[in-house]
């Protein structure tokens, strides 16, 4: 029995030496192949793992991604047959969300729209204009990654008088924050001004016409009338949005401004670009 045990022990000892010899030989071969075998082995292990997550999103945007997105949006604007020079964002919902409105403003400017007007029937944006401006600046930096050295002219209408309040954004665009006071109330004030002029014999009743009234309503600055107004919400009404300025304006309704996407905005711009405007003919 002792002879059997000794024989088995010697066989195991020989196998151990063979094992060590093979390991040494493989190490030498791997050095001669410059590690190519290891690279192939790692690739074989990593590729299946990567392919098993096809919908994985990067938590941090790749360098230049936002810059590329900015140029793509600019190219989208140039691809349209016509682009509104002045667009209005009419919020017909009770609880406006500042982040979503800021996104819309930044997207409009990114595609090349020169004038953007924001309006709600309750005057929420007018009362909270600083908050809106901060949110627009935040979204501009996040979406477009623009430098702060260039500025957007931001204006607030105040009973027909344009007051340049502050400059916070890039892009050569003008943002107007409107409220119901800039609509019907301004027409009433213009009518009262004409009545006082007649009463004080500065004008006669024959001098009063549409052209004169129009000049009074536009005396502050030559801002163009809105070409397009996007109405967000279920209410089928303009809610007093600049009634004097929208006689030739195209209106497009969208269900809500909440969680609105760039694709929603661009789809509306495509509808506007393809529509035929007869301009009263």
Closest CA relative to residue 177, chosen from 144, 233, 130? 130
Domain membership of residue 94 (yes or no) is: yes
Q: Does residue 21 belong to any structural domain of this protein?
A: no
Burial of 203 from C-beta contacts in 10 A (0-12 / 13-18 / 19+):
middle
- Residue 229 belongs to domain with CATH number: 3.40.1180.10
- CA distances (Å), origin 29, targets 19, 33, 215: 16, 6, 90
Tell me the pLDDT band of 155, cut-offs 50, 70 and 90.
low
Domain total in the chain: 1
Separation between Cα atoms, residue 248 and residue 151, nearest integer Å: 30
Contacts of 265 (CB under 8 A, 6+ apart): 104, 107, 108, 230
Q: Which two tokens stand for residue 259?
A: 């969680």
**In contact, 109 and 70? CB cutoff 8 Å:** no
The tens digit of pLDDT for each residue in 109-119 reads 899 998 999 99
Task: Count Cβ atoms below 10 Å from residue 186 Cβ, excluding itself.
Answer: 20
Residue 37 lies in a domain: no
162 belongs to a structural domain: no
pLDDT value, residue 43 = 47
Give the pLDDT of residue 254: 95
Look at 193 and 80; give whichever has higher pLDDT. 80
Range of the domain at 112: 69-157+170-179+223-274
Decide: 66 and 144 in contact? Cβ < 8 Å. yes
Sort residue 158 into left (φ over 0), alpha (ψ -120 to 50) or beta: beta
pLDDT in tens, 185-202: 777 777 887 888 888 877
* 199 belongs to a structural domain: no
pLDDT tens digits along 212-268? 777 777 655 567 889 999 999 998 888 888 877 888 899 999 999 999 999 999 999
pLDDT at 24: 60
Residue 174 inside a domain? The answer is yes
Confidence of residue 204 (pLDDT cuts 50, 70, 90): confident
Is residue 59 domain-resident? Answer: no
pLDDT confidence band for 106 (50 / 70 / 90): very high
pLDDT averaged over every residue in the chain: 74
Per-residue pLDDT at 51 exceeds 60: no
Q: Quick check: is 247 in a domain?
A: yes
């Amino acid at each position: 029995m002792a002879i059997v045990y000794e024989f088995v022990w010697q066989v195991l000892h020989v196998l151990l030496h063979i094992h060590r010899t093979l390991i040494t030989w493989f190490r030498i071969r791997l050095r001669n192949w410059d590690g190519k075998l290891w690279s192939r082995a790692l690739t074989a292990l990593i590729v299946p793992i990567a392919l098993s997550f096809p919908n994985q999103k990067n938590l941090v945007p790749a360098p230049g991604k936002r810059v590329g997105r900015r140029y793509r949006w600019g190219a989208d604007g140039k691809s349209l047959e016509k682009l509104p020079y002045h667009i209005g964002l009419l919020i017909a919902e009770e609880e406006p969300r500042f982040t979503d409105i800021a996104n819309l403003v930044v997207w409009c400017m990114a595609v090349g729209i020169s004038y953007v007007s924001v309006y709600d029937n309750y005057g929420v944006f007018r009362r909270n204009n600083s908050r809106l401006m901060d949110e627009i600046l935040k979204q501009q930096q996040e979406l477009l990654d623009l430098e702060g050295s260039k500025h957007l002219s931001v204006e607030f209408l105040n009973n027909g008088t344009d007051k340049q309040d502050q400059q916070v954004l890039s892009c050569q665009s003008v943002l107007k924050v409107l409220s119901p006071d800039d609509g019907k109330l301004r027409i009433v004030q213009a009518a009262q001004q004409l009545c006082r002029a007649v009463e004080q014999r500065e004008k006669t009743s024959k001098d009063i016409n549409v052209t004169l009234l129009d000049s009074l309503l536009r005396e502050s600055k030559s801002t163009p009338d809105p070409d397009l107004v996007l109405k967000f919400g279920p209410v089928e009404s303009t809610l007093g949005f600049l009634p004097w300025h929208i006689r030739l304006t195209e209106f497009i309704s969208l269900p809500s401004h909440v969680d609105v996407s760039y694709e929603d905005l661009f789809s509306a711009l495509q509808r506007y670009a393809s529509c035929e405007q007869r301009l009263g003919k």
